[in-house]
């Protein structure tokens, strides 16, 4: 593709977006904690946290709760192996310590140790009760589950630092796909000076995804498939990219139907909604969880006595959205040609119908993502309604065309004194012949 042939799709955004890699985000948060909150926050690395009890809700005669609300066992562990989604570690020869807390916020990412413990505790709870207690009991009606999807469209990635020249637009997202969809190049702006955070997405078994692959082979691949970007990458960058191993993407998972356990434990972030970071919905949604929980806590009067209101309110505001987020994201990541059609066709239909009737039909899924104040649950419902109305409109148009064609052939058959079947067959043959002749003519002109 030539640079002058590139297609630029402009988007009217209410805010300016910038891309920050997760490792950089972690570094920024670490620096903020160490400089501003070192007296109240203690950072520890290489520890495993296992819940002993999610809370003692027994109340004494004077109204005070008896016993610590949440008890945890903290063990220092030695990493053994990791396959991206799960990690194994050894806690042998370590003396675990016990920690008690009035309020537990679990944000342990894809490891979801607390969420897994909640799932196990819920299973044990339900085993101890009969069917009527499970369905109509006051404490828990719906089982808590971590829904895990098999990754049937696996991709790994290598990050690539790249700087675009001054005459390139520095506020656009650049995307290119190679022939046969072997690889995808995505570049998003890191600042206003042309520095971009780029990713090369590949299949796990691709030779370019392996560590210490041949830099010359990688260069040849870029020259052939991404020539407009290859010339911006120096040999030193190519060598670094070829040397590094590929990083894995998380699998789609969500936990629910609640985001709390008892009255003192809340789970948020990746441990309740894990998505692939294709559309900027992973870390951003986790930070939104933090913001909403903070607002809930700040709105509670006499917090020390009423902290138990926060977990339930957080579930009310975020649980349904977590499920919708994962469902939407996974629906846009289906494998094969059918998956590609399921991704591309809705974007085309949304663009067409939104231009014709913007007050009736919403923008594409990406346009909905950019709307502030719209939840993922609302997006999911809106897109379902749009699909229904689009289907009705398309079916009506096709039915009208079919009825019109049938009436026209009937009139033509009567005028020619022929049967409708012969007329329809003749018209179909004429259309096929015209299409064949047109294709031959276009090939001749191209040669």
**pLDDT, tens only, 136-175:** 665 556 789 999 999 998 999 999 999 999 999 888 889 9
Is the confidence at residue 352, as pLDDT, over 80? yes
Q: Domain count for the chain, please give it.
A: 3
DSSP-based three-state secondary structure for 234: coil
Among 57-66, 292-301, 309-318, 420-429, the minimum mean pLDDT is found in 57-66
Q: Final residue of a domain: which of 217, 248, 279?
A: 248
Tell me, yes or no, whether 180 lies in a domain.
yes
Question: What average pLDDT does this structure show over 104-120?
Answer: 88
Same structural domain for residues 80 and 135?
Answer: yes
Partners of residue 202 on adjacent β-strands: 156, 183
- Point out the least confidently predicted range of 69-78, 157-166, 368-377, 436-445: 436-445
pLDDT over 90 (residue 437): no
Long-range contacts from 58-61, C-beta under 8 angstroms, 24+ separation: none
Q: What is the Cα–Cα distance from 208 to 427, expressed in whole angstroms?
A: 52
Same domain, 51 and 137: yes
- Tell me, yes or no, whether 192 lies in a domain: yes
- More confident site: 269 or 5: 269
> For 219, which DSSP code?
H
Query: What's the pLDDT score for residue 64?
Result: 47
259 and 179, same structural domain? Answer: no
pLDDT band at residue 62 using 50, 70 and 90 as cut-offs: very low
Would you say how long the chain is, in residues? Answer: 447
What are the tens digits of pLDDT across the range 380-417?
999 999 999 999 999 999 898 888 877 888 887 777 77
CATH label of the domain that carries residue 259: 3.50.50.60
Domain boundary (201, 222, 248) is at 248
Same domain, 146 and 259: yes
- What pLDDT score was predicted for residue 59? 41
Q: Which of 84, 82, 81, 74 is nearest to 48 (CA)?
A: 74
Residue 391 sits in the same domain as residue 265:
no
**From the CB of residue 100, how many other CB atoms can be counted at a distance below 10 Å?**
13
**How many alpha carbons lie under 13 Å from residue 236 in its C-beta half-sphere?**
2
Domain presence at residue 441: no
Please give the pLDDT value at position 221. 96
Do both 257 and 244 map to the same domain? no
End of a domain among 226, 248, 270?
Answer: 248
Range of the domain at 357: 336-395
Question: Do 134 and 160 share a domain, yes or no?
Answer: no
Round to whole Å and give the CA distance between 307 and 305.
6
Q: Which two tokens stand for residue 256?
A: 């629910």
Non-local (6+) Cβ contacts of 173 within 8 A are: 186, 187, 188, 189
Please provide residue 136's backbone torsions phi and psi, each rounded to the nearest 5 degrees: -120, 5
Alpha carbon distances (Å) from 61 to 87, 300, 309, 414, 442 = 45, 25, 22, 96, 90
* Residue 108 exposed, middle or buried by CB count within 10 Å (0-12, 13-18, 19+): middle
Establish if 31 belongs to a structural domain.
Answer: no
> Same structural domain for residues 256 and 194?
no
Q: Which residue has the higher pLDDT, 90 or 202?
A: 202
Coil, helix or strand at residue 289: helix
Alpha-carbon distance of 271 to 146, in angstroms, equals 9
Same domain, residue pair 119 and 256: yes
- 310-to-77, 79, 255, 291, 373 alpha-carbon distances in Å: 32, 34, 18, 13, 21
Task: Give yes or no: residues 169 and 318 share one domain.
Answer: no
Tokens 């969500």 — which residue?
254
152 Rama sector, left if φ>0, alpha if ψ -120 to 50, beta otherwise: alpha
Overall pTM surpassing 0.75 (yes/no): yes
Residue 385 sits in the same domain as residue 350: yes
d(CA 314, CA 260): 8
Q: Kindly state the DSSP code that residue 272 receives in the 8-state scheme.
A: T
- Whether residue 381 is contained in a domain is answered as yes
User: Which uninterrupted H or E stretch holds 358?
Assistant: none
State the virtual CA torsion across 15, 353, 153, 322 in degrees, nearest 10: 50
Is residue 24 assigned to a domain?
no
74 occurs within a structural domain: yes
425, part of any domain: no
Same domain, yes or no: 270 and 145: yes
**Residue, of 435 and 206, whose pLDDT is higher:** 206
Mean pLDDT, to the nearest integer, of 239-255?
Answer: 93
Q: Which of 430, 335, 320 is nearest to 377 (CA)?
A: 320
């Amino acid at each position: 593709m030539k640079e002058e042939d590139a297609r630029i799709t402009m988007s009217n955004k209410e805010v300016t977006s910038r891309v920050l890699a997760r490792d950089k985000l972690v570094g920024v948060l670490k620096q903020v904690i160490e400089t501003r909150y070192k007296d109240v926050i203690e950072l520890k690395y290489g520890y495993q946290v296992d819940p002993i009890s999610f809370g003692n809700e027994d109340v004494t005669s004077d109204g005070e709760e008896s016993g610590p609300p949440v008890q945890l066992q903290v063990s220092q562990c030695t990493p053994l192996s990791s396959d991206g989604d799960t990690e194994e570690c050894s806690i042998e020869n370590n003396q675990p310590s016990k920690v008690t807390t009035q309020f537990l916020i679990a944000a342990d990412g894809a490891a979801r140790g607390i969420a897994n413990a909640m799932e196990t505790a819920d299973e044990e709870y339900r085993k101890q009760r009969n069917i009527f207690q499970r369905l109509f009991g006051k404490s828990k009606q719906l089982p808590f589950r971590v829904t895990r999807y098999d990754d049937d469209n696996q991709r790994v990635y290598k990050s690539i630092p790249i700087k675009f020249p001054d005459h390139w637009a520095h506020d656009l997202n650049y995307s290119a796909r190679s022939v046969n969809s072997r690889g995808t190049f995505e570049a998003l702006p890191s600042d206003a000076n042309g520095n971009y955070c780029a990713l090369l997405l590949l299949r796990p078994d691709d030779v370019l995804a392996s560590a210490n692959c041949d830099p010359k082979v990688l260069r040849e691949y870029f020259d052939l498939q991404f020539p407009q970007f290859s010339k911006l990458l120096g040999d030193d960058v190519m060598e670094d990219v070829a040397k590094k191993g590929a990083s894995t993407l998380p699998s789609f998972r969500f936990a629910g139907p609640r985001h709390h356990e008892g009255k003192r434990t809340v789970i948020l972030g990746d441990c309740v909604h894990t998505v692939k970071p294709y559309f900027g919905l992973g870390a951003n949604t986790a930070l939104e969880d933090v913001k909403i929980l903070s607002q809930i806590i700040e709105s509670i009067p006499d917090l020390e006595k009423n902290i138990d209101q926060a977990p339930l309110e957080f579930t009310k505001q975020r649980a349904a959205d977590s499920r919708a987020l994962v469902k939407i994201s996974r629906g846009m990541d289906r494998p094969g040609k059918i998956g590609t059609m399921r991704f591309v066709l809705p974007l085309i239909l949304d663009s067409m119908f939104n231009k014709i009737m913007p007050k009736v039909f919403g923008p594409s899924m990406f346009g909905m993502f950019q709307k502030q104040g719209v939840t993922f649950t609302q997006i999911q419902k809106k897109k379902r309604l749009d699909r229904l109305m689009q289907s009705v409109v398309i079916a009506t148009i096709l039915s009208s065309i079919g009825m019109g064609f049938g009436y026209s052939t009937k009139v033509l058959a009567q005028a020619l004194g022929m049967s409708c079947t012969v007329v329809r067959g003749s018209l179909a043959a004429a259309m096929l012949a015209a299409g064949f002749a047109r294709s031959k003519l276009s090939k001749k002109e191209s040669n």
